[in-house]
Structure 1
């Protein structure tokens, strides 16, 4: 897999960092760290504050970005894990707890990808408003290779008002 790859990534934080400060500042610092590692960040969504999923009580700062890199999916995943550790995130532990930074690959220009430790598109992104809303700001016309729907269409489906059950 040589050449430039384009990725839609999701970033999230809901824990202060001793050096960077508030979660929104942590997200911005993570973007800067990506650039320092040679990743070209072409577009960044506004940072939105969202309610947590699961046991965490703290609100999340979430964003999406379009990036370009020579790194294939697994090398990018390794870079993300390394940066998460550098920011103080520890592997393991309870799912959906508070975290200093979370970096996820949502979509990539190569379409679908599946391995034991990485699936692209991200398995749950179609169900997550905190991913789709920021993604809509940077990649509204990017198509999900599984459903064939654009980010705009997926967001509309997820956020459409539904009638109350009787």
Structure 2
């Protein structure tokens, strides 16, 4: 396998052995190495009520995507992540978002990540470290995807008519 670059999203919303969620994310970023974004706070997704700490990291690796996924799952387990509820609290969450090799779809891994285009907590950190990286599906850059997601849109015009008193 030739050397690849990966964009990995890192998130936490539960206290673990490295402290509060921000500490868990910082510890994961140190372990992964590479070029990391700033850590941001974001609202929970789904039924969780705990605020998330999120970041992204660019890593270089000789691992194939499936091998990197296995390594990321081992790191999650080492941090104390438990499997269970899909949207539940988690000590650490590590997701492969983009890969310099383009696309891959297997029963256990889809890259680009299916939902990354609609998640500002992924796009905002990614924008800080990989603004020009193009989504192989849409052809849009991370910057363009983030702008599309966060752009203010005008309120719809009302079709009601005022006929007076």
TM bucket normalised to smaller: over 0.9
Contact 2:42 2:121 in 1 (8 A): yes
Equivalent residue number for residue 132 of structure 1 = 123
Contact 2:11 2:52 in 1 (8 A): yes
Contact 2:46 2:87 in 1 (8 A): yes
Equivalent residue number for residue 92 of structure 2 = 101
Equivalent residue number for residue 13 of structure 2 = 14
CA–CA separation in structure 1 for the residues paired with 2:79 and 2:3: 27
- Aligned pairs for 1:46-125 within 5 A: 46-91=38-83, 93-125=84-116
**TM-score normalized with structure 2 length:** 0.92
Structure number with bigger Rg: 2
Deviation at 1:28, TM superposition (A): 1.1
Equivalent residue number for residue 32 of structure 2 = 34
Gaps of 5+ in 1: 36-40
RMSD: 0.9
How many residues of Structure 1 are paired with residues of Structure 2 in the alignment? 157
Secondary structure at 2:138 match in 1 = coil
CA–CA separation in structure 2 for the residues paired with 1:162 and 1:96: 29
CA–CA separation in structure 1 for the residues paired with 2:32 and 2:151: 34
